[in-house]
Amino acid sequence: MSDIEREEACAAPVVPASLSDEVAGYQWARDMVGESGSSVYRLHGRAGAPDLFLKHGRDGFAEDISDEMARLRWLAGYIPVPALKHFMRTPDQAWLLMTAMPGKSAYQLLEANPEARPAIIDAAAAFLRRLHAIPLSECPFNGDHAYRLGRARKRIDAALVDVDDFDDEREGWTAEQVWEAMHGLLPLTPDPVVTHGDFSLDNLLIHEGRVVGCIDVGRVGIADRYQDLAIIWNCLGEFGAPLQERLFRQYGIADPDQRKLQFHLMLDEFF
């Protein structure tokens, strides 16, 4: 997907009065990549002002944006993330205005620069080790598989799971089939760390050869390290097994736990 295809120019949406001054004078582009259910906009072109991002969501997606706001505030003390500019919440809507971070996503760079792929993987693995080294005692958020299983069950029962978006290995499966297969992999020995929760190539930003931060942090919480490893490992499948293997080596795992990988990939199908 080219940079042009990743976003689409659009008119400025209606925003709360408290946001009007901060977004005045910007050109707007809507993000076409994310699957969060919220609307995401890039604000650019205001003379002498930095680019910004605005997320807007209704109902359950407003709750997701509120979760992201709280995690942004906390995570900023440990790793680079977008700076919070403004947050507005009503009973059924939420708006989150953040600074844009420099660089491009790891996915964009892997796609555009094949010769740089090993260095990109090394940088991603180093950043993930840094995230996972945050002391558990300092993290106030839970994201373990028991918590996420509860949320997944609610999404299944509410018919919110997009079965057409399942990975190729589960194409044609029902949500209940994935649920049953996933439970067949339990129990798992926990290995808790502070996780991103959606550590995909699109959520990792790289500038001048180094990771400068991560975005979409609404699922940050204490969980098994394979919550993050499984997602980025799966993303790398598009670029070949050698890069997947390099990721684990650089992270520090010689023999990946295939059971945990498969469990967390199936769990992610529900979100």
Dihedral sign (CA 194, 144, 70, 247): positive
The b/e string for 228-264 (b: 16+ C-beta within 10 A; e otherwise) is: bbbbbbbbbeebeeebbebbbebbeeeebbeebbbbb
Residues 271 and 252: their CA atoms lie apart, in Å, by 28
3-class DSSP state for residue 163? Answer: helix
What does the block give as tokens for 50? 């930095």
User: Residue 142: how many CA atoms within 13 Å on its side-chain side?
Assistant: 8
**β-bridge mates for residue 213, sequence order:** 205
Among 64, 198, 224, 268, the active-site one is 198
198 is catalytic: yes
Q: In which residue are the tokens 């010689």 written?
A: 254
Choose among 58, 108, 105, 98: nearest CA to 75.
98
Q: Active-site residues: which are they?
A: 198
